[in-house]
Structure formats: C-alpha cells, structure tokens
Homo-oligomer: A and B are copies of this chain.
C-alpha cells in the first residue's frame, strides 16, 4: 500500500509548472485517479496510521517521546516488577531490539534496569521519578492534543466505534 511518511511537504505551490499545457485554459495538474485504491483496507489503514503517528510526534515534540517509547513507559508503569522480556514481548518488540530502546530511555533517566534478586539473569524495569513525571505530562499532551483531535473529527460516539472496530481487527483478523 506504500504511502511514505514524507508528511507535510505536499508542495502547496500552484504546481502550475506542469507539462502538457499550451493555452491558459487547461491549467490543472491533472490529478491521478486513485480508483479502487481508495477503498483498499490496507492502503487506507496505513495512510491513517502514518498521519496519526505524525500527529503524535508533533504533540510530543516537547517531550521527545516516540509512540514506541510512550508505549513502553505506559506498560512499565502499569506493570511494575516485570523484566525486559515480559515488557518487550507484550509490545511485540523482539528482545534484541528492545536493548537499544531501553538504553535510550535509561540514558535519559526515564526508566531503570534493576537486577532481580530472585533471578539474577533478569532486569526488573521501573520508572524513575523523572520518568513518572514525564509520563504524566505525556499523558496530558496525548489526551488534550492528540486523542481529543479524534473527537473533533469524528465525534465521541464515532471515535469509540472506530477504536472498537480497530481493536477487533487487530485481535481477530
């Protein structure tokens, strides 16, 4: 389905620099027909997902949190005392790829790895005080600037219906 993440650079200049144009009569850029593409589930899903992630990053610019990082902080907060493998696998992150991610969060003093006394192989993950504070601010930004945008766009009822249907697709498709 394609749809890159190039984002806002839709080059809103008149685009009058098209080619096939002799008179001043036909000056349209002759937009392409999307055709059946505009009803393809995967195509629309990916476009929507890219737009949502873009907006998320803009809303979180002041905290410098990516969607993935935000999800890690949320999950660690809700599940204290879990190790890397448990957190990573719940999020669908492979353990090897989770290492660098945690290195990042830990270097920013947002979370910490603690050697478990029960099983000295594993690292228990916890949020630092700063991590808790940042997550609290992040939640507010997400709620007021990000999720609220869905209400403005779809309305409360439709927003809930959308989330419900997407969950169903994510779980049962």
Q: How many residues of A are in contact with the other chain, CB < 8 A?
A: 72
Do A40 and B173 touch (CB < 8 A)? no
| Stoichiometry, copies per complex | 2
A132 to chain B, nearest CB (A): 14
Do A2 and B68 touch (CB < 8 A)? yes
Which residues on B sit within 8 Å (CB–CB) of A169? 48, 51-52, 150, 153-154, 162
A108 to chain B, nearest CB (A): 18
Which residues on B sit within 8 Å (CB–CB) of A5? 92
Given the contacts A36-B139, A166-B48, A170-B51, A150 and B2 also touching, CB distance less than 8 Å: no
List A residues at the B interface (Cβ < 8 Å). Answer: 1-6, 19-20, 32-49, 51-53, 55-56, 67-68, 70-72, 74-75, 77-79, 82, 86-87, 90-94, 97, 118-119, 139, 142, 146-147, 149-150, 153-154, 158, 161-163, 165-170, 172-173
A20 to chain B, nearest CB (A): 7
